[in-house]
Amino acid sequence: MATEHTEHVVVVGAGQMGAGIAQVALQTGLRVTLVDVSEEGLAKGAGRIRAGLAKLVEKGKLEDAKRKAAEANLATATRLSEVKEVDFAVEAATENEELKKRIFQELDGVVKPGGVLATNTSSIPITRIGAVTKRPESVIGMHFMNPVPVMQLVEIIRGAATSDATYEATRALAVRMGKTTVVSRDMPGFIVNRILIPMLNEACFALMEGLGTAEDIDTAMKLGTNQPMGPLQLADFIGLDTCLSIAEVLHKGLGDDKYRPCPLLRQYVDAGWYGKKSGRGFYKY
Ligand code: CAA
């Protein structure tokens, strides 16, 4: 797809991922409409985007004129039905299958013929999401990593019916956004979470068994394997509820007991200790 076809991107969901995706799209000169059912969520998301752009100007990584243009290219809406002339949609709503299916049925009526309906899901099969639309060939997984403005990777996941044209358009957009892409089959966890979540889960088992303190486990992995964050710190950063939910998807979808979620992880989630976002996880914030 030529770049002029991806002029108007709609991002559904104004949370951390949606705002990050919208920010990076704006930085590349695209027109973006950020959609969220909550006015408050939208205001927070737009604020996060403006702060992110301002930070780049401060660091000399973005010209102020480009920041102004990017801000002018941002629109918000509380209903998808208000949004017109969409070339490319990226859904980054809460990880709830029924909600995502409803959003995709709506997107089916909003995105132009020949446009792309992408989901940032980390755990729901793309094929299943595509099947609720009248155009599963246009549905694809576009999985960004957190924090979106910093992380270089986008995993692209083709559903059973995804067309080559949809794949090419998605890859072109990711590259335009400055990202490197990899392609994953539509299997539980795709590539990153299939490998990452068992490691984080294993760190929880190590802590539960008293192999070391949280600090020692994290220091060991940070300095011993050159990772920017230790596994428990990273689990807190991702969200322990998210880690548990992906671990459950791997366990159920792949059927092997090696993916069994750690009981300590489950207990922390039961306690409402979701990590950084709730003020407490393996660490206090
Ligand atoms: N938004 C925008 N920029 C951010 C940011 C954010 N939320 N957090 C940090 N940055 C920027 C900083 O401004 C800084 O930029 P400069 O180098 O230009 O100054 C740079 O990132 C480094 O940040 P800091 O110096 O503040 O902190 P750091 O060096 O400790 O890096 C980090 C922070 C980038 C988050 C780093 O710790 C890291 O890479 N951690 C691992 C993150 C990771 O693995 N993410 C993937 C999670 S898995 C996932 O997302 C998939 C899933 O489905 C669960």
What pLDDT shows up at residue 83?
96
Fold matches, 3-185 and 194-278:
no
Q: For ligand 1, is residue 234 a contact (CB within 6 Å)?
A: yes
The CATH class, in words, for 3-185 is alpha beta
Could you tell me where the DSSP H helices lie in 28-163? 39-58, 64-72, 97-110, 126-130
Alpha-carbon distance of 138 to 261, in angstroms, equals 34
Report whether 16 belongs to an annotated binding site.
Answer: yes
110 CA to middle of ligand 1, Å? Answer: 33
Token pair recorded at residue 50: 């403006």
Are 116 and 166 in contact by the 8 Å Cβ rule? The answer is yes
Core vs surface per residue 84-123: b (16+ CB within 10 A) or e: eebbbbbbbbebeeeebbebbebbbebbeeebbbbbbbbb
Fold for 194-278, please state it. N-(1-d-carboxylethyl)-l-norvaline Dehydrogenase; domain 2 (1.10.1040)
Residues 6+ away with beta carbon under 8 Å from 66: 27
- How many other β-carbons are positioned within 10 Å of the β-carbon of residue 82? 12
Residue 240 φ/ψ, nearest 5 degrees: -70, -30
What pLDDT shows up at residue 4?
47
Average model confidence (pLDDT) across the chain: 96
> What is the value of pTM for the model shown?
0.95
Condensed to tens digits (0 to 9), the pLDDT of residues 61-116 reads 999 999 999 999 999 999 999 999 999 999 999 999 999 999 999 999 999 999 99
Domain map (residue ranges) of the chain: 3-185, 194-278
Q: For ligand 1, is residue 141 a contact (CB within 6 Å)?
A: no
Using DSSP's 3-state secondary structure scheme, residue 192 falls into helix
In percent, how much of the chain has pLDDT > 70?
Answer: 98
- How many other β-carbons are positioned within 10 Å of the β-carbon of residue 135? 19
Condensed to tens digits (0 to 9), the pLDDT of residues 126-175 reads 999 999 999 999 999 999 999 999 999 999 999 999 999 999 999 999 99
